Amino acid sequence: MPFTTFMPQALDEARAAAARGEVPVGAVIVSAHGEILATAGNETREGHDPTAHAEILAIRRACSGIRSERLTNCTLWVTLEPCPMCAAAIAHARIARLYYGASDPKSGGIETGPRLYDHPNLHHKPEIITGIEEKECRKILKDFFQLKRFQRDTD
């Protein structure tokens, strides 16, 4: 089967988040049959919800849709390396494979800092594929924070 990427859809969610003034991260959850179960972008600001990262929202929506607290055999596509909260949620949901774009040395929880999946008390570890459309994933974030700084400095 040829490799099908869902990063374009995750990037669309990231761009939509930026347009709403949210940190531009987007996520997509895909079933074993290649069906999109959920998409989400960050909603922490508008939702007044510090847990409303793209990954958490996508997991909650996908689980609600299939009426299960497990997303076994599903894949999660996200533009940025998940933070420790999201990395642990991915383990709780038993997601099989995690594809992400840009690394996050400042707030990531997988390659850096607590390196969550290196610990046995995370009772599940997804297969991890990194660097998918990394340049574009990183550019959206860089542009967003540059614009924020410009707006703040010219305020």
CB of 26: closest distance to its own copies in angstroms?
18
Tell whether residue 122 is a contact of its own copies (CB under 8 A): yes
Stretch that binds its own copies, among 11-19, 32-40, 52-60, 143-151 (CB under 8 A): 52-60
Q: Which of 13, 22, 55, 81 is catalytic?
A: 55
Q: Is 69 a catalytic residue?
A: no
Give the separation between CA 126 and CA 140, rounded to whole angstroms.
Answer: 26
Nearest CA to 6 among 28, 31, 35, 32? Answer: 28
Which C-beta is closer to its own copies: that of 7 or that of 42? 42
> Least distance to its own copies from the beta carbon of 135, Å?
23
Dihedrals φ, ψ of 50, to 5°? -65, -15
- Minimum CB separation of residue 106 from its own copies in Å reads 6
Q: What's the rounded Cα separation, in Å, for the pair 141 and 17?
A: 11
Closest CA to 8 of 108, 101, 141, 103: 101
Name the DSSP letter for residue 82: P
Binding to its own copies in span 76-95, by CB under 8 A: 83-89, 92-94
| Site stretch for its own copies (CB under 8 A), options 9-17, 115-123, 136-144, 145-153 | 115-123
Cβ(96)–Cβ(74) below 8 Å: yes
